[in-house]
């Protein structure tokens, strides 16, 4: 049987399974068996999800309250799932590291949420949303999953409105839409620039309602530190109570990870300070595959770094590119000047120059890379920042390009610009201390979202039975790049509609064996966490946890950021290995284990980032093609555009943990072929 085609009886694939010829990562990994999504649906694409919902078995309402579900994370995916499964009558335990479920970082999403409602009658449809998403993901997502997402998108809006989410409305009282992220239809629902906040509060309130009803127990300031696997099934987690320091065992019939993305491996990102990979990474170390870890989305319009003190980056909505012109000085010696003194003739509007037809509105990754090249050439603006150069040496570079609203202000008037971007420009001024109405704004790309994550099948179940993964934590729906306003859609689709319909098929096998707390697997998980905590506190080295995180971030950003190359990635892998070895002998964690200890919490997260970072580099090294957010210097057209290699890489790279490379371990690559029947692969061009 041809790999990947076994589940398509009667359907004609539009592509051939790929055969990889290059092997850049040779010596860094082992090749394992292909992985197949055994639960993938069959039939015409429009019927797959409906059929599946019918075929999935039901759980008797009377039995539901006897079934325990652990959900880690309270963002859109986790909060929505907790609420929905609680309503259904299951016994849910919800965990978050923050002081309240309402703080999850979904709250920071600005732009909006896509849904194929076609309220504007502008030709939108489920199929078009599906098509745009697969294409936007550069044909690296599974078509069945994406179609399901597009189908559920409309239900999300209904659900959220019923919960009281105050979406923007038109004068007639009906919902307003806008166009977002370069698509040609208006399908984005929004609540000013705070859509994520409003959707999250909706899910949070629905979840708190279930807390009051007694179906959901909310454990805040709890961090999952280990997955309990018994007889190859996920049966619980070990979590640390971050207030008392107690290491607690929580057993359940099924575990759901909705723990978000790992963009903080870059140290600087638009993620929250606490966003981490630990929950997912612990599962990975217990056998769950990590899929496409190198797929990272870099957002072109963030506020640039001002110095080594910087702890996080702030996104400015991309909509600014509609009215702003992006430029750098033509001459290096002008970079220190007041931009207002640089004459028009000495300004290089590089996006307009290189991409005359799309100009400043080229896709995120192209805009980001172009800005990077300008700064690499030495024509960046703003303060000089210390960073690691391609040769591994430290250097000072200006990392910023101008986003200039002057022309738009002249053309439309200051008032019009104020109305459109008021809150954004205020935020910019607050952070930079510069008035964007007078001085051109400075922007630079920043890590924003990761498309990679734990591998899941169509049912959102990982290769460990009983471990489900939703939202940004899984890899499933965005391929190699995510469309604007689709992250919120995926999180809520997973949480409200997909997971509740798939998890029941797994739970229909209940009752499961009762696991005693003294089961060897439980004891082992518990003691491994306790040992690690005491190890951190006993190393007593000389360097702060923060300094390791910063150094890892600068390695990742330089070599595994906007542009990746074979030699660069190999340098990065070595550097990360050295840094990790040093971390385990020289990190300094003060304080005790029995109360709030933020350095201790961070140490565990950084330890996991130090392993993840290496895997991302190996994945990026193996994938010698440019697709979506992943750009390999070796794979570009003569004009410097991304070049995809479908014949070699139309597969999901699912990595199995093979042990720490410093101890001789190597990750094992399992490929899952991507097969399309409802859409044809195409190369994109923005020239």
Q: Which residues are catalytic?
A: 364
**Does residue number 8 form part of the binding site for another protein (CB under 8 A)?**
no
**Beta carbon nearer to another protein, 172 or 356:** 172
Q: Binding segment for another protein among 202-210, 280-288, 348-356, 656-664 (CB under 8 A)?
A: 202-210
Chosen residue from 105, 325, 347, 624 binding another protein by CB under 8 A:
105
Judged by CB under 8 A, the residue of 34, 544, 574, 666 near another protein is: 544
Q: Rounded to the nearest whole angstrom, what is the least distance from the CB of residue 259 to another protein in the complex?
A: 14
- With CB under 8 A as the contact rule, the residue among 68, 124, 151, 208 that binds another protein is 208
Rounded CA separation 445/400 (Å)? 9
Task: Give the residue, chosen from 53, 209, 285, 577, that forms a contact with another protein under the rule CB under 8 A.
Answer: 209
Of 180, 196, 222, 203, residue with least CA distance to 93: 222
Residue 71 in contact with residue 81, Cβ under 8 Å? yes
Tell me: does residue 591 bind another protein (CB under 8 A): yes
Among 53, 178, 330, 588, binds another protein (CB under 8 A): 588
Of 169, 353, 395, 411, the one binding another protein by CB under 8 A: 169
For strand 651-656 and strand 668-673, is the pairing parallel, antiparallel, or unpaired?
antiparallel
Stretch touching another protein by CB under 8 A, among 46-54, 210-218, 352-360, 503-511: 210-218
Q: Which of 64, 117, 564, 624 binds another protein (CB under 8 A)?
A: 117
User: Closest distance between another protein and the C-beta of residue 127, in Å?
Assistant: 20
Stretch that binds another protein, among 140-148, 162-170, 349-357, 662-670 (CB under 8 A): 162-170
Near another protein by CB under 8 A: residue from 10, 123, 172, 343: 172
Among 166, 378, 413, 567, binds another protein (CB under 8 A): 166
What is the closest distance, in whole angstroms, from the C-beta atom of residue 61 to another protein in the complex?
A: 13
Core vs surface per residue 474-483: b (16+ CB within 10 A) or e: bbbbbbbbbb
| Binding residues among 470-499 for another protein as defined by CB under 8 A | 496-497
Locate 134 and state its tokens: 């697969």
Q: Which is nearer to another protein, 309 or 514 (CB)?
A: 309
State the nearest-atom distance from the C-beta of 118 to another protein, in Å.
11
Q: Which stretch binds another protein (CB under 8 A): 44-52, 350-358, 428-436, 474-482?
A: 428-436
168 and 191 Cβ atoms separated by less than 8 Å: yes
Binding mask of the shown chain, residues 211 to 250, with x at each position contacting another protein by CB under 8 A? xx-----x-x----------------------x-------
Q: Which residues contact 574 (CB under 8 A, 6 or more apart)?
A: none
Residue 80 or 443 with smaller CB distance to another protein: 80
546 binds another protein, rule: CB under 8 A: yes
Q: Which stretch binds another protein (CB under 8 A): 136-144, 226-234, 358-366, 586-594?
A: 586-594
Q: Which stretch binds another protein (CB under 8 A): 20-28, 122-130, 596-604, 621-629?
A: 596-604
Contact 209, 199 (CB under 8 A): no
21 touches another protein by CB under 8 A: no
Binding-site size for another protein (CB under 8 A) equals: 82
- Binding of another protein by 310 (CB under 8 A): yes
Closest to another protein by CB, 54 vs 171, is 171
205 touching another protein, by CB under 8 A: yes
> Contact region for another protein (CB under 8 A) — 281-289, 328-336, 343-351, 423-431?
423-431
Crossing angle of the two packed helices 499-507 and 48-55, in degrees rounded to 10: 40
> Is the CB of residue 325 less than 8 Å from the CB of residue 352?
yes
Give the separation between CA 494 and CA 30, rounded to whole angstroms: 32
- ∠ CA 165-272-153, nearest 5°, is 35
Provide the token pair at 488.
């919120």
| Residue 430 engages another protein in binding (rule: CB under 8 A) | yes
Residues 6+ apart with CB under 8 A from 578: none
185 binds another protein (CB under 8 A): no
Q: Which stretch binds another protein (CB under 8 A): 51-59, 197-205, 647-655, 660-668?
A: 197-205
Select the residue interacting with another protein from 100, 527, 534, 685 (CB under 8 A): 100
Run of H or E including 53:
helix 48-55
Give me the least distance between CB of 263 and another protein, in Å please. 13
- Check if the beta carbon of residue 508 is closer than 8 Å to that of residue 493: no
Q: Is 503 in the site for another protein (CB under 8 A)?
A: no
Helix intervals (H) in 304-461: 320-323, 350-354, 364-376, 406-412, 414-432
CB of residue 336 to another protein, shortest distance in Å: 17
Helix (H, G, I), strand (E, B) or coil at 233: strand
Distance, in Å, from the CA atom of 35 to the CA atom of 657, rounded to the nearest integer, reads 15
For another protein, the closer of residues 521 and 537 by Cβ is 537
Across 522-561, b (16+ Cβ under 10 Å) vs e yields: beebbeebeebbeebbebeeeebbeebbbbbbbbbbbbbb
Task: Say how far apart CA 109 and CA 260 lie, in whole Å.
Answer: 13
The answer to whether the beta carbons of residues 633 and 127 sit under 8 Å apart is: no
Question: Least distance in Å: CB of 623 to another protein?
Answer: 31
Euclidean distance between CA atoms 208 and 523, whole angstroms: 32
Q: What is the 3-state secondary structure (H, E, C) of 553-606?
A: HHHHHHHCCCCECHHHHHHHHHHHHHHHHHHHHHEECCCCCCCCCHHHHHHHHH
**By the rule CB under 8 A, 299 interacts with another protein:** no
Q: Which of 134, 157, 255, 675 binds another protein (CB under 8 A)?
A: 157
For residue 473, what are its two tokens?
């934590």
The CA–CA distances, whole Å, from 421 to 5, 193, 418, 425, 436 equal 49, 10, 5, 6, 11
Q: Which of 307, 343, 356, 516 binds another protein (CB under 8 A)?
A: 307
Question: Of 270-289, which residues contact another protein (CB under 8 A)?
Answer: 270, 272-274
Binding to another protein in span 59-98, by CB under 8 A: 80, 83-84, 87, 98
State which of residues 184, 595, 637, 685 lies at the interface with another protein (CB under 8 A).
Answer: 595
Q: For residue 593, state whether it binds another protein (rule: CB under 8 A).
A: no
Instruction: Let me know how long the chain is.
Output: 687
Alpha-carbon dihedral angle through residues 431, 435, 440, 443, given to the nearest 10 degrees:
10
Residues in CB range of 14: below 8 A, 6 or more apart: 676, 677, 679, 680, 681
520-539 vs 598-622: helix crossing angle, rounded to 10: 100
Q: In the complex with another protein, which residue's Cβ is closer, 162 or 581?
A: 162
Q: Tokens 């990870």, residue?
A: 257
**Which H or E element spans position 610?**
helix 598-622
Q: Shortest gap between Cβ of 497 and another protein (angstroms)? A: 7
Contact between 439 and another protein per CB under 8 A = no
CB 8 within 8 A of CB 44: no
Among 48, 93, 103, 549, binds another protein (CB under 8 A): 103
Given the rule CB under 8 A, which of 20-28, 308-316, 436-444, 622-630 is the region that contacts another protein? 308-316
């Amino acid at each position: 049987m041809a790999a990947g085609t076994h589940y398509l009886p009667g359907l004609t694939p539009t592509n051939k399974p790929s055969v990889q010829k290059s092997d850049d990562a040779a010596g860094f990994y082992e090749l394992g068996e292909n992985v197949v999504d055994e639960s993938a649906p069959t039939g015409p694409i429009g019927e797959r999800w409906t059929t599946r919902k019918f075929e999935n078995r039901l759980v008797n309402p009377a039995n539901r309250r006897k079934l325990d579900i652990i959900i880690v994370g309270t963002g859109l995916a986790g909060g929505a799932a907790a609420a929905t499964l609680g309503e259904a009558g299951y016994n849910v335990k919800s965990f978050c590291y923050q002081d309240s479920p309402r703080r999850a970082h979904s709250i920071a999403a600005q732009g909006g949420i896509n849904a194929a409602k076609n309220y504007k009658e502008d030709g939108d449809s489920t199929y078009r949303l599906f098509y745009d998403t697969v294409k936007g993901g550069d044909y690296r997502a599974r078509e069945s999953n994406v179609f399901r997402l597009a189908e559920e998108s409309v239900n999300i809006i209904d659900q959220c409105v019923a919960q009281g989410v105050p979406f923007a409305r038109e004068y007639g009282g009906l919902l307003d839409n806008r166009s977002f992220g370069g698509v040609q239809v208006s399908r984005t629902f929004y609540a000013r620039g705070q859509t994520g906040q409003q959707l999250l509060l909706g899910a949070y309130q629905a979840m708190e309602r279930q807390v009051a009803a007694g179906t959901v127990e909310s454990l805040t300031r709890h961090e999952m530190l280990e997955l309990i696997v018994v007889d190859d099934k996920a049966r619980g987690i070990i979590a640390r109570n971050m207030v008392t320091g107690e290491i607690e065992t929580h057993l359940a019939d099924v575990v759901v990870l909705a723990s978000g993305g790992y963009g903080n491996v870059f140290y600087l990102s638009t993620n929250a300070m606490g966003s981490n990979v630990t929950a997912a990474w612990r599962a990975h170390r217990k056998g769950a595959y990590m899929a496409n870890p190198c797929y990272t989305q870099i957002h072109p319009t963030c506020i640039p770094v001002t110095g080594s003190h910087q702890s996080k980056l702030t996104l400015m909505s991309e909509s600014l590119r509609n009215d702003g012109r992006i430029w750098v000085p033509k001459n290096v010696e002008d970079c220190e000047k007041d931009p207002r003194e640089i004459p028009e003739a000495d300004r290089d509007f590089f996006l307009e120059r290189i991409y005359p037809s799309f100009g400043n509105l080229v896709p995120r990754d192209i805009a980001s890379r172009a800005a990077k090249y300008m700064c690499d050439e030495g024509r960046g603006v703003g303060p000089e920042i210390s960073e690691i150069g391609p040769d591994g040496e430290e250097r000072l570079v200006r990392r910023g390009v101008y986003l200039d609203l002057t022309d738009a202000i002249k053309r439309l008037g200051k008032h019009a610009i104020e109305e459109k971007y008021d809150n954004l420009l205020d935020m910019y001024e607050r952070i930079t201390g510069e008035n964007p109405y007078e001085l051109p704004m400075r922007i630079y790309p920043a890590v924003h979202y990761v498309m990679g994550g734990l591998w899941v099948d169509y049912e959102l179940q990982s290769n460990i039975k009983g471990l489900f993964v939703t939202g940004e934590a899984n890899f499933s729906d965005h391929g190699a790049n995510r469309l604007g306003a689709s992250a919120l859609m995926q999180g809520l689709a997973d949480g409200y509609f997909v997971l509740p319909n798939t998890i029941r098929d797994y739970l229909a096998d209940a009752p499961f064996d009762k696991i005693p707390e003294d089961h060897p697997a439980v004891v082992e998980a518990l003691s491994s966490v306790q040992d690690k905590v005491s190890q951190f506190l006993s190393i007593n080295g000389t360097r702060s946890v923060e300094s390791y995180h910063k150094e890892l971030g600068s390695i990742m950003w330089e070599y595994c950021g906007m542009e990746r190359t074979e030699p660069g990635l190999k340098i990065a892998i070595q550097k990360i290995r050295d840094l990790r070895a040093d971390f385990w002998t020289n990190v300094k964690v003060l304080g005790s284990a029995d109360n709030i200890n933020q350095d201790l919490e961070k140490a565990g997260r950084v330890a996991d980032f130090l392993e993840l970072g290496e895997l991302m580099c190996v994945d990026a090294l193996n994938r010698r093609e440019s697709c979506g957010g992943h750009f390999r210097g070796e794979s570009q057209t003569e004009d410097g555009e991304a070049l995809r290699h479908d014949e070699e890489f139309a597969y999901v790279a699912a990595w199995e943990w093979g042990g720490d490379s410093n101890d001789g371990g190597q990750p094992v690559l399992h490929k899952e072929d991507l097969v399309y029947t409802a859409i044809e692969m195409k190369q994109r061009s923005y020239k």
